[in-house]
Structures are given as structure tokens and as C-alpha cells.
């Protein structure tokens, strides 16, 4: 399980590791350079990493309403929801999958959002397909509220929301 994993805020020293982690997950997330990814982390309401004895094993970035973030998927939620926390990217190192790290990151962001947001929001690729992510999100209580084509029809995403208590 993820008992030997700790969660903390992303720091400047994490930039190379989170960039490598992010770019190893393409096409499920878009590729970014170190400077761009760290700048994105700086805009996030919550920017967290999961750390184990061998370093960073996962990360999550989440944005609240009104963020200066020029993402088509983020904008979809920002145009339609008043109080939300948009999970832009969650990545777990391939070698660390199945240890509960993704769930820990989601539990962490839900705790952060408590009292700040009415729902968590995210998108999951349908083209190219990411059925594992879709099952994961549905198991956590996310439901599809819309769909959107991006990158000139190269990608299609399911836009998902999980209401918070």
C-alpha cells in the first residue's frame, strides 16, 4: 500500500523530477518542459507530490475558479461552475502504480477542497482511450457531465465532476 508514502507541497527542487514524471505519462497528460510545468504548479491552488524512499512517485496539480490558466478543459469548468477544484493532472510513476498513491493524492485534494469548493472536476481522455483512468474516477464517485474534442479532434475527453459534501 501507500503507507510508506508521504505527501507534501511541490518545491522548486522538485522541478526536474516532476517534469520527468509528467512526460513519462504522455499521452495521458500533455508534455511540458521543466519551466512550463513548474510555472503551472505555481498557478495551482494545490500542487502536491507523493514521496517514497526512492524519491517522487506521484504528483497532482489542481486549480480553483478564476485561475490564470489557459487550458481548454479548465475553461470548460470555469465557464460552468462557480465553486470547483479542477484536477489538471495526476501522475503516478509506472513502477509505483497499484500502491494506492493515486487514491492518496485524490483523498488529499478532497480534504484540501473541503469548505473551499462544491465539487472536484477533471477530464479523462477518451481518444486516445484511457479506460483505467475512467474506471478509477468512476470508482471515486466522479460522473461524466460533458465531452469535448481538443487539439483539432486528435483528442476527445470526458469531463467529470465529483460533488463534495
In a domain, 22, yes or no: yes
In a domain, 1, yes or no: no
Phi, psi dihedrals of residue 44, rounded to the nearest 5°: -70, 145
Report the distance separating Cα 4 and Cα 52, nearest Å: 6
Looking at the DSSP bridge assignments, the partners of residue 144 are 160
CATH of the domain at 13: 3.40.630.30
In a domain, 71, yes or no: yes
- Domain region containing 147: 6-163
Q: pLDDT for 112-137, tens place per residue?
A: 999 999 999 999 989 988 898 899 99
Q: At what angle do helices 15-24 and 34-43 cross, to 10 degrees?
A: 100
The helix/strand/coil state of 2 is coil
Name the pTM for this structure.
0.91
Q: pLDDT for 83-113, tens place per residue?
A: 999 999 899 999 999 999 999 999 999 999 9
52 CB-contact burial (10 Å; exposed 0-12 / middle 13-18 / buried 19+): middle
Report the distance separating Cα 84 and Cα 54, nearest Å: 33
Q: What domain count does the chain have? A: 1
In a domain, 32, yes or no: yes
Contact 48, 42 (CB under 8 A): no
Amino acid at each position: 500500500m501507500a503507507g510508506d508514502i508521504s505527501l507534501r507541497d511541490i518545491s522548486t527542487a522538485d522541478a526536474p523530477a516532476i517534469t520527468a514524471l509528467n512526460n513519462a505519462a504522455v499521452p495521458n497528460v500533455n508534455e511540458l518542459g521543466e519551466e512550463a510545468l513548474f510555472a503551472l504548479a505555481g498557478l495551482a491552488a494545490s500542487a502536491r507530490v507523493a514521496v517514497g524512499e526512492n524519491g517522487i512517485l506521484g504528483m497532482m496539480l489542481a486549480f480553483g475558479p478564476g485561475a490564470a490558466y489557459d487550458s481548454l478543459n479548465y475553461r470548460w469548468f470555469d465557464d460552468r461552475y462557480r465553486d470547483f477544484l479542477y484536477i489538471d493532472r495526476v501522475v503516478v510513476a509506472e513502477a509505483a502504480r497499484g500502491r494506492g498513491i493515486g487514491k492518496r493524492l485524490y483523498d488529499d485534494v478532497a480534504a484540501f477542497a473541503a469548505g473551499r469548493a462544491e465539487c472536484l472536476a477533471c477530464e479523462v481522455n477518451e481518444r486516445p482511450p484511457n479506460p483505467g483512468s475512467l474506471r478509477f474516477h468512476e470508482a471515486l464517485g466522479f460522473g461524466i457531465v460533458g465531452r469535448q474534442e481538443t487539439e483539432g479532434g486528435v483528442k476527445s475527453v470526458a469531463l467529470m465532476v465529483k460533488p463534495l459534501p
